[in-house]
């Protein structure tokens, strides 16, 4: 029987869980475990928890306009619309696939042609398979990057945590853990070079890996220069040297090892606790399994958490410096202000006269734990701002996450209307970043392709756009790296006035392309009255 002291303790934990920090951050891991144990052991506690959760949800729905029935129904309706409108976007993605740069010299043309054809065939199959469902959770690919500490490249382009990765050459410097679409999990310690073939097959050129293969993914295969390892539902690790020398260590379950030709005669069964050293086709030696050697690969989540903490600390330093920076016209850090809940507080020295008004948008998690953001989802969601002044040079820098490119244009920040000197900062639904400037000489659109593709939806990135009229250039940075430079096609002072973040007020032509609501989140927006340097952009992107 629970005693009164225990009751009191339970109520304390329950109260903190429900009414303090959102989610599970209110309790430490130990407290959460303790709470769970109490709930599981006592039916009364379990019932109490369920009643409190039920009423918590009902009250949130009843009291909060952001969660009321009509908002929710409208959101589902908008999502269904977005899915129905998806055809356009998909066909554009296929066009993009078609226009990929030619493969570098040295790749035999047959291979290049085959892989391009395979790529197209895959894209087409994918469209045929999913109908018009752009919001389908799984874009073409074989695995998702679940955690990443360090760098990861797929076919020589940088990929980030949360991205889906398709077939291709994967290089890891640091640690990465991948979740394959069929269910296998693979942790990789760099330097490592792998080739992702399909959701059940990987070629390991060199590196240290550890695989966890649940029963549903039985048959997951790792190929090396000298062997082929087929998993029968288990946990195993491998280390592959640069010359193909391979060690396989089995910790749980069973693994079948074959020579590189997969000849049936070479089949060797390895069970838990066994390991094999394979120098070449003729030199196989049994050795004891060494768990400790692969221990680091089981701690990637912890390493990633540590990295998140470091990111938060690094961001706090940027945040503190920005609050003192008089070059900032406005600085919105998107942190919820308990006293002014629906206000987007301007943290720059220019102060509260430049505060924004939050309309519809809701606070959600940001790019890393401990950082908040605003989510723009419904057609009405926006932040209204009014930034006075005329400027020769400007920098816009933001942490952004795009969840869908449902409209022809998705607003990051658009001035009301599009008068002389005004700027439009937005994405187009083919994944390009588009900057519109109304120069005195005319309206000019500067568009940069390839900022986003489907696999990056839902991934946070840092974006900076620098207007430098002294140099006559417009530069874009992605995650602190220079992405593109364009020559400005006009001169003249720039201004904002009344504007919306995540939406567009007073469209120029009602009707065509006038709805530009963002489907995504923003976690920081800096507006500088200067063209800041590349090093400074890098610092803002925490690189």
Partner 1 sequence: MAFKRDQKREAFAAFVREHQASLRSFLRVIGVQADSVDDLAQETFMVAYRELDRFDDNEDFGKWLRGIARNLTRNELRKSARRSRIMNEELTQHLLAEAEVDQSEARFEDADLCALRDCLEQLPEKSRGLIAGRYQDEWKASFLADQFQMTAAAVRLALMRIRRQLKTCIETRVSNA
SS3 91: helix
Strands (E), 70-226: 143-154, 157-159, 164-165, 168-180, 185-198, 201-212, 221-223
Distance between CA atoms of residues 134 and 85, nearest Å: 8
Closest approach of Cβ 406 to partner 1, in Å?
Answer: 14
Give Cβ neighbours of residue 72 (< 8 Å, ≥ 6 apart).
61
The smaller minimum CB distance to partner 1, of residues 364 and 384, is found at: 364
Rounded to 5°, angle at Cα 538 from 532 and 543: 165
The smaller minimum CB distance to partner 1, of residues 133 and 272, is found at: 133
Closest approach of Cβ 28 to partner 1, in Å?
Answer: 12
Closest approach of Cβ 277 to partner 1, in Å?
Answer: 33
The smaller minimum CB distance to partner 1, of residues 308 and 468, is found at: 308
DSSP code per residue over 357-385? EEES-EEEE-SSTT-EEEEE-STT-EEEE
User: Closest by alpha carbon to 437, among 419, 449, 410, 413?
Assistant: 419
Closest approach of Cβ 424 to partner 1, in Å?
Answer: 29
SS3 16: helix
Distance between CA atoms of residues 507 and 408, nearest Å: 14
Give Cβ neighbours of residue 18 (< 8 Å, ≥ 6 apart).
52, 53, 56
The smaller minimum CB distance to partner 1, of residues 60 and 287, is found at: 60
Distance between CA atoms of residues 410 and 377, nearest Å: 11
Closest approach of Cβ 517 to partner 1, in Å?
Answer: 16
The smaller minimum CB distance to partner 1, of residues 40 and 323, is found at: 40
Closest approach of Cβ 85 to partner 1, in Å?
Answer: 12
User: Closest by alpha carbon to 196, among 228, 226, 160, 221?
Assistant: 221
Here the tokens at position 32 are 């959460």
The smaller minimum CB distance to partner 1, of residues 147 and 475, is found at: 147
The smaller minimum CB distance to partner 1, of residues 72 and 321, is found at: 72
Distance between CA atoms of residues 137 and 132, nearest Å: 13
The smaller minimum CB distance to partner 1, of residues 166 and 458, is found at: 458
Closest approach of Cβ 433 to partner 1, in Å?
Answer: 26
Closest approach of Cβ 182 to partner 1, in Å?
Answer: 13
Give Cβ neighbours of residue 260 (< 8 Å, ≥ 6 apart).
223, 224, 225, 226, 227, 228, 281
Closest approach of Cβ 403 to partner 1, in Å?
Answer: 10
SS3 269: strand
Contact 373, 461 (CB under 8 A): no
Distance between CA atoms of residues 269 and 112, nearest Å: 37
The smaller minimum CB distance to partner 1, of residues 64 and 441, is found at: 64
The smaller minimum CB distance to partner 1, of residues 267 and 340, is found at: 340
Residues that bind partner 1 (CB under 8 A): 11-12, 14-24, 32-33, 35-36, 39-40, 46, 49-65, 67, 69, 72-73, 75-77, 79-80, 83-84, 133, 135, 146-147, 162, 301, 304-305, 308, 338, 341, 363-365, 369
Here the tokens at position 383 are 């932040």
Closest approach of Cβ 132 to partner 1, in Å?
Answer: 10
């Amino acid at each position: 029987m629970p005693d009164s002291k225990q009751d009191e303790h339970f109520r304390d934990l329950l109260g903190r869980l429900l009414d303090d920090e959102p989610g599970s951050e209110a309790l430490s891991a130990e407290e959460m475990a303790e709470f769970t144990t109490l709930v599981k052991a006592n039916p009364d506690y379990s019932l109490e928890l369920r009643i409190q959760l039920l009423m918590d949800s009902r009250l949130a729905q009843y009291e909060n306009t952001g969660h009321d029935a009509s908002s929710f129904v409208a959101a589902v309706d908008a999502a269904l619309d977005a899915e129905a409108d998806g055809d356009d976007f998909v066909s554009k993605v296929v066009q993009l696939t078609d226009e990929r740069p030619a493969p570098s010299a040295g790749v035999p043309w047959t291979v290049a042609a085959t892989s391009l054809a395979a790529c197209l065939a895959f894209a087409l199959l994918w469209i045929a398979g999913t109908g018009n469902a752009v919001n389908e959770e799984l874009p073409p690919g074989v695995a998702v990057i679940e955690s990443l500490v360090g760098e990861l490249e797929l076919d020589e382009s940088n990929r980030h945590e949360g991205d889906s990765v398709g077939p291709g050459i994967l290089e890891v410097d640091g640690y990465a853990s991948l979740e394959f679409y069929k269910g296998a999990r693979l942790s990789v310690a760099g330097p490592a070079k792998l080739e992702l073939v399909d959701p059940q097959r990987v070629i390991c050129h060199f590196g240290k890996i550890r695989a966890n293969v649940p029963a549903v993914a039985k048959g997951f295969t790792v190929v090396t220069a000298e062997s082929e390892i087929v998993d029968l539902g288990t946990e195993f690790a491998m280390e592959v040297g640069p010359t193909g020398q391979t060690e396989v260590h089995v910790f749980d379950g069973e693994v079948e090892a074959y020579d590189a030709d997969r000849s049936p005669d070479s089949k060797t069964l390895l069970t838990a606790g066994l390991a094999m050293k394979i120098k070449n086709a003729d030199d196989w030696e049994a050795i004891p399994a060494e768990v400790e050697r692969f221990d680091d690969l089981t701690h990637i989540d912890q390493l990633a958490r540590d990295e998140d903490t470091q990111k938060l600390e690094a961001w706090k330093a940027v945040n503190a410096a920005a609050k003192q920076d008089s070059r900032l016209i406005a600085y919105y850090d998107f942190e919820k202000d308990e006293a002014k809940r629906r206000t987007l507080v301007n943290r720059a020295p220019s102060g509260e006269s430049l505060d924004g008004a939050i309309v519809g948008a809701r606070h959600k998690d940001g790019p890393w734990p401990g950082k908040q953001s605003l989510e723009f989802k419904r057609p009405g969601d926006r932040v209204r701002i009014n930034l006075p002044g005329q400027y020769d040079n400007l920098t816009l820098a933001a942490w952004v996450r795009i969840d869908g490119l449902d409209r022809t244009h998705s607003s990051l920040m658009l001035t009301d209307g599009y008068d002389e000197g005004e700027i439009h900062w937005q994405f187009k639904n083919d994944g390009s970043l588009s900057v519109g400037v109304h120069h005195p000489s005319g309206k000019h659109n500067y568009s940069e392709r390839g900022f986003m593709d489907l696999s990056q939806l839902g991934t946070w990135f840092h974006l900076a756009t620098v207007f430098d009229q002294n140099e006559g250039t417009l530069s874009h940075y992605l995650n602190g790296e220079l992405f593109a430079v364009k020559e400005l096609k006009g001169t003249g002072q720039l201004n904002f006035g009344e504007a919306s973040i995540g939406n567009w007020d007073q469209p120029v032509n009602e009707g065509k392309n006038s709805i530009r609501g963002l489907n995504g989140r923003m976690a920081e927006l800096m507006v500088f009255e200067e063209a800041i340097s590349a090093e400074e952009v890098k610092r803002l992107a925490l690189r």
